[in-house]
Every structure is written in structure tokens, then in C-alpha cells.
């Protein structure tokens, strides 16, 4: 079964569970690391999730996975928080991150730069605008969304 297909099935299975538990589904990953396969489900809620939230979602999802059995190989199921540097994937993720510090890497450089970190000033389906510091000044960088390879919240030290 293709990797995308497994994540689609898992997302469909976990959606009613996260709704019932009043948490948000952030992301689903299914990937091989070394000799092992990992099915990772990332959840969040205002104030963050705790071990009990993760445990409840994991137990219910595990039961559903046993019934549907979409993964023929052995795998490890992990349900956790996306962490402080959570990925930004969906339009709603970007909309919530306006005003926050973010890291964005690109498929191809803009002004010779392939990765930016700064404040997300605005977001639309076509582009996002970051305010970045360059030495002692700030400048706005307009990034077409189709050039974004990866985006995540970024912790400022």
C-alpha cells in the first residue's frame, strides 16, 4: 500500500477520535527509519496536549487500526505533540501563525536565499510575507506558496 494511501486512511480513522477528545489533528506520517516503519500522529490543543491526551487517542486509534488493518507490515504507532516548532502545512496552520516567528525553506532560492526565518506578516493561498532581519535592518520577503518546501514555527532564543 502506498505511503500516501496509508496516511489518508489513518487520517480518516483518527478524525472522529480527535474530535471526540477535543484535540486537533496536526499531521500524520508513515515512514521507514532504518529497518522499522513508524506511524506518527501529531495532535495539539490550546495549552498543549499531555500524556493522557496522547494515550487516549493512541488506544482508540490502535483499536481502529486493528479492525481496518491498512498496514501489512509491522510498525510502531506514536501519538504525540508536534512540539514547539510545529509544522505549518494547512492554510489554517499558516493563518494561526500570522504574527509568529517561523522558519521557511524553499524549493528554489529567492534573492539567492533558500531558507528564511522571521515574523509571518500575512498569508494567502498564493503567497506569504515574512519580515526578516538582515544584520541591522528588517525587510519584507514575499514568498509564493508553491515555492515553500517546509514551514514550521521557530523558537526565538
How does residue 4 score in pLDDT terms, banded at 50, 70 and 90?
low
Same domain, 74 and 8: yes
In-domain check, residue 9? yes
Burial grade of 33 (CB within 10 A; 0-12, 13-18, 19 or more): exposed
Query: CB within 8 A of 49, min separation 6: which ones?
Result: 23, 43, 80, 81
In terms of domains, do 76 and 95 share one?
no
For residue 107, pLDDT over 70 is answered with yes
pLDDT at 61 over 80: yes
Count of domains for the chain: 2
**Would you say the C-alpha torsion 67, 50, 31, 77 has a positive or negative sign?**
negative
Q: If pLDDT is split at 50, 70 and 90, which confidence band does 156 have? A: confident
d(CA 58, CA 38): 13
Residue 37 sits in a domain of what CATH number? Answer: 3.30.300.70
Domain of 17 in residue numbering reads as: 3-80
pLDDT digits (tens, 9 = 90+) for 32-43: 999 999 999 999
Task: Identify whether 99 is part of a domain.
Answer: yes
Residue 46 lies in a domain: yes
pLDDT in tens, 120-151: 999 999 999 999 998 889 999 999 999 999 99
**What CATH number is attached to the domain comprising 112?**
2.30.30.180
Residues 59 and 32 in one domain: yes
Same-domain check for residues 13 and 48: yes
Amino acid at each position: 500500500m502506498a505511503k500516501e494511501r496509508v496516511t489518508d486512511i489513518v487520517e480518516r480513522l483518527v478524525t472522529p477520535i480527535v474530535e471526540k477528545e477535543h484535540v486537533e489533528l496536526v499531521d500524520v506520517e508513515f515512514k521507514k527509519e532504518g529497518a522499522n516503519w513508524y506511524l506518527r500522529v501529531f495532535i495539539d490543543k490550546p495549552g498543549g496536549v499531555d500524556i493522557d491526551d496522547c494515550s487516549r487517542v493512541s488506544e482508540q486509534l490502535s483499536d481502529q487500526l486493528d479492525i481496518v488493518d491498512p498496514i501489512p507490515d509491522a510498525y510502531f504507532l506514536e501519538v504525540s505533540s508536534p512540539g514547539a516548532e510545529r509544522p505549518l502545512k494547512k492554510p489554517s496552520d499558516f493563518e494561526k501563525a500570522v504574527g509568529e516567528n517561523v522558519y521557511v525553506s524553499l524549493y528554489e532560492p529567492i534573492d539567492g536565499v533558500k531558507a528564511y526565518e522571521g515574523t509571518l506578516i500575512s498569508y494567502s493561498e498564493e503567497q506569504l510575507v515574512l519580515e526578516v532581519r538582515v544584520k541591522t535592518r528588517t525587510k519584507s520577503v514575499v514568498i509564493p506558496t508553491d515555492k515553500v518546501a517546509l514551514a514550521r514555527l521557530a523558537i526565538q532564543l
